[in-house]
A and B are shown apart, each in its own frame.
Chain A
Amino acid sequence: MADTPDYSWPSMESRKAMGKSIKRLDGPVKSTGRAKYTSDLRPRDMLYAVYVHSPHAHARVTGVDTSDAEKSAGVKAVHVTAPAGTEVQYQGWEIAAVAATTEQAARVAAGRIRVEYEVLPHLVKDDDLSKATGRTKQGGEKVVGDPDETFKNAEVVSEGQYGIPIANHCCLEPHGAVIQWQGDKVYAWPSTQDVTTWATQLSPNIKVDATNIKVKMDYIGGGFGSKFGPDAWGETAARLSQKAGGRPVKLFLERDAELMIAGNRPPAYGKIRIAGKKDGTITGWQSDTWSTGNMPLPYIIDQIPNMRIKHDTVSINSGPSRAWRAPNNQQLSYLTCSALEDFAAKIAMDPIEVFKKAVEYAPKARVELYKYQLDKAAELTDWKNQWKPRGSGSGTVRRGLGLGISAWGGAGHNSNCRTTINPDGSVLVEIGTQDLGTGTRTIITQVAAESLGLPMGKVKLVIGSNDLPPDAASGGSSTVGGVTVSTRRSSVNALAKLFEAAAPALSAQPADLEAVDGHIRVKGSPNKSMTWETACKKIGPGKISEMGSFNRRQPAPGMNDQGVGGVQIADVSVDTETGLVKINHYTAVQDCGLIVNPRLAESQIYGAIIMGISTALYEERFFDQQTGKYLNADMEFYKLAGIGDIGDIKVHLDIRPENDKRGVIGLGEPPAVAICAAIGNAVTNAIGIRVPHIPMTPSHVLDALEGRIA
């Protein structure tokens, strides 16, 4: 393997660009409004498209009459997506769309489409199985060991009921695209988490070769797992463009449709019983849960010797579910950690100690890590002095502390990068990836600059197009692990070529050269050196252009890794006369590998916790079962946390040599997992009684305090 260049990361101490808290490169263009998101685009001759959505939660379309709309002023195309016979499964289902010269003209025309429905019975609420007759599917029962005997002979059995509802993604930029279908070519500007395979997903639906679909996206206003494909609206926009003679068409969902149809996170409800000993040892687990999807319990501590696990699914007439920042983990963490906290309270033991015993049932590789993190989190929050047994507080406003734990993968995805070095010294790095707002642009540039021994400003980066070397979807916190390795490899490969070109002038062998601070020099003889520009002049004619890849079937030990744990602690105050919950402090101890940029890593954790606090305290959909209507498909009563609602967040990034040597691991999702668990447990600790249902609203808190929960 002598010919294989050494791609391994520079040592922690020697890094110049990596490991530094560099501000995100696109911060200024984003904060000044100069960054153009897809929904900002307005190419020449663009048409505006507007959807007609089903007002019914469940119905059969019996007729769609578009004749008036077609004659409406400014209309260039009408496309029916749900013809007569279609069974509509939720409010907001797309029926037809109109493209017109102005937004107003499109709206007027959409209002002239007449749709007839045969209304069918609906179920829009998922929290009461007794009202879901005919809508449930039993998932069977999983039995491990002897749960019956264990519960019968247990020293202690704790029991609780818990619920966490559907949450919407609430991307600031709704779902949509601008698309132009001209002849046999399609130009698409989608808002997507997957620039590379967007075209291959659309291709079979519109029967255009994927090679003829050009995809470009510079900036995306949020995805959170809900923007992986072209979706129905991608195809609809394409068809409208084709019908309109190839004019570009912009089709973005309105805010209400965005909440109704563009994704939600499944709920989880149910009862959990834990059997154990008074010393905190857990001996048995029993859960009986339901959701609109699967919920494999228990979370993390899945090696409990005796278990009975039952889970049913229920189908309701609300929009389809989609991946939401660490899919299902927030729900699973909430159910599991709530049950653990209730067990700890039952035996009057410090939950830190109970969790430390419980994580003995976690996958072996992470048992010690969780124990370390629990101690670390306890130390950072002064848990020993600050935590008080459940309900021991008095007064109107009571303080409580609560725990939550998380697990995630974060392995890198397949990625290809091209690094080009020109004779004038300029450097171009190209990857068909996307920056979801996480700082991917900055990270790639840091890795390239580090690898080439150049300042950040010397590296030009191009991402966001399927003409570029293919990358993959930004999902599962996989981007950073993929793009850092492909960028490192392509840059090291390109540098090797530059060394070959420059070596004769330095009277050295290429293998003896190194690139440091904008110079190419002989290792160990810093005097034998030339500037980067002088070295690049030796390239000509032509240029150096080298590829580098990461393929997840060929692991890159030391370069990237997967599998992280985390512990979080919420410190809250609960006003027992209003049920208002305020976050005093929120502390996150996050396992991570090599940190390319501590500022951006912390920023990911802040963002995840802010999103989590919002779900823990505010976010809730309200459906009226009588009419099937989603009543708060807006950002007024679908409440989102604002800056004043967040409290103080403390992040502990675990930067240690033993973590660094694992390589790069994704961080977008793991810190978003444990928040409902930690806050729910903190509220319970404060007021002495379990508030079973997330979010922790005045209504839910007071209903629990005043005994209105059945």
Chain B
Amino acid sequence: MKTIKFLAFVGLLLSLTLLTSCKDDDPMILPEPADMYTLEDQMGRPAINTVFVTSAEKDDFNQTIPSEQGAAFATKFQNQLLALNAGYTTNALGMDAATFTGALATDVLTVATSGTTTFFDGTNVLTGRRLADDVISVELLLIFGGPNGMENPGLTDDHVDANDKAFLTTFPYLASPH
């Protein structure tokens, strides 16, 4: 019993000494440098990298921050648009090829902080993106549909208009997995 008490006493002394020496004598322990994380993939609007960037440059596009995308990619986007639709003049938003691709090359989703948020609902344009928005048909229409949306009728709607499961009305809104 005594031995144990003695050992405990020695242990206490030791730890006190250690604590004190930590405070007074040891060099200050610097906080660990924060972990850094580097960009691998990014996305603003749907299907931008997949549609408007050539295979060879898809990684480059993911590595280019939005504030630098316009200068680097606007002309390339225009070439890709005309490769997809050589007959492109303007679209239903009245944008010629340079205006349309210039707007798309900076891959940022604009979101209204009041009122309806939707990719396109017939009235509101690019005020957000809801789960149910048929974004692909909107993009097909703007790429292939011409100024009044009537050109290339076989290409302007994929006729998949909704998700295969209903969304929830409460958080987290996405449907449960299959």
The answer to whether A and B interact is: no
